[in-house]
Amino acid sequence: MSQLEQELACEMHLIVPPDQVWRAFKDLHNLLPRILPGFIDSASLLEGDGGVGSIREIKFGLGLNSDERRIRSDESDELSPDLVMSMKNDVADTDGLTATATWDLACANAVVPGQSYSKERIDVLDNEQRICSCSMLSGEMMENFSSYRTTWQFNPATGGQGTDVKWKIEYVPVGEHGSLDKFKDSALLMVKQIEGHLIATAEYTPPSQQQKLRAALLS
C-alpha cells in the first residue's frame, strides 16, 4: 500500500531584507561552497541557467567532528545560545570581505549525516512572491522517499525590519525514515549562514546597509 504525502514546516526570522536574501538564495550553486566550506564540496547546475527546470547537484564534504556540538539546545527549538554567540563573534571579527563559518562546520556533520550528494530540479521560481520549490531527483536520502519536495518563501517581516522565512518539505516515505529534524536543522543552518554572509560582505548587500545590519545583529 502506498504511503500518503506528509509535510514538515518551520519558520524563522532574518534581519536582512528579503530582496537581498532572495538574490543570494537564487545564486546557491555559486554561494554554498564558499559559505559552507568542508560541508559543501561543490554545487553546480547540470542543466539550465538557474531558472525553472534547471537541475542542480550538490556534493557534500565530511564536515568537522561534531560529537560535542548540536544545532539545538535541549530546552528549545531555536538555535542554541552558544551557536548564536559564535555567529555574532564571527560577524564582529570579520574584515568585511569574508564571513567565517566555524559554528556551521562544527555541527554540519550532525545535521545531514551520511550524505555524499543530492540532485534536485527547480520547479517553481517566483521572483515577485520570492518562492522557490525544488524536487529531489537522486541522492542517498531518496532511498527513504518516493518523492521529496522543498519549498522556501521569503516575506517582508511583519511589523519590522528583515525577512520572515517559511520552509516546508512535502514527502512520501518508503518504509521507516526516522526523524526529519536533521533536514529542518540543515535548512536553518544554511539560511543563517546566508544571513551571516550578507551581513559580512557587500556581495549582495549595499555597503551603506552593512553597518546597520551588523549593529542590529550585535544589539
CATH of the domain at 194: 3.30.530.20
Please indicate, yes or no, if residue 71 is contained in any of the structural domains. no
Q: How far is the C-alpha of 192 from the C-alpha of 7, rounded, in Å? A: 22
Please indicate, yes or no, if residue 70 is contained in any of the structural domains. no
Please indicate, yes or no, if residue 165 is contained in any of the structural domains. yes
CA atoms in the 13 A half-sphere facing the CB of 51: 3
Please indicate, yes or no, if residue 72 is contained in any of the structural domains. no
Amino acid residing at 191: V
Rounded CA Rg of the chain: 17
Please indicate, yes or no, if residue 74 is contained in any of the structural domains. no
Query: Which pLDDT value is given to residue 219?
Result: 63
Contact 175, 159 (CB under 8 A): no
- How far apart are the two ends of the chain, measured CA to CA in Å? 54
Amino acid residing at 69: R
Helix, strand or coil, per DSSP, at residue 128: coil
Please indicate, yes or no, if residue 1 is contained in any of the structural domains. no
Please indicate, yes or no, if residue 10 is contained in any of the structural domains. yes
Contact 117, 50 (CB under 8 A): no
Q: For the whole model, what pTM was predicted?
A: 0.73
Please indicate, yes or no, if residue 130 is contained in any of the structural domains. yes
Query: Which pLDDT value is given to residue 23?
Result: 94
Q: What is the pLDDT along the chain (219 residues), one digit of tens a residue?
A: 357 889 999 999 999 999 999 999 999 989 988 888 878 889 999 999 999 999 999 998 765 433 333 333 333 334 333 333 344 434 333 333 333 333 333 344 434 555 688 999 999 999 999 999 999 999 888 888 999 999 999 999 988 789 999 999 999 998 776 678 888 888 888 899 999 998 888 777 666 676 677 676 666
Query: Which pLDDT value is given to residue 58?
Result: 92
Q: Domain containing 210: what range?
A: 6-62+79-218
Query: Which pLDDT value is given to residue 123?
Result: 98
Contact 132, 125 (CB under 8 A): yes
The total number of structural domains in the chain stands at 1
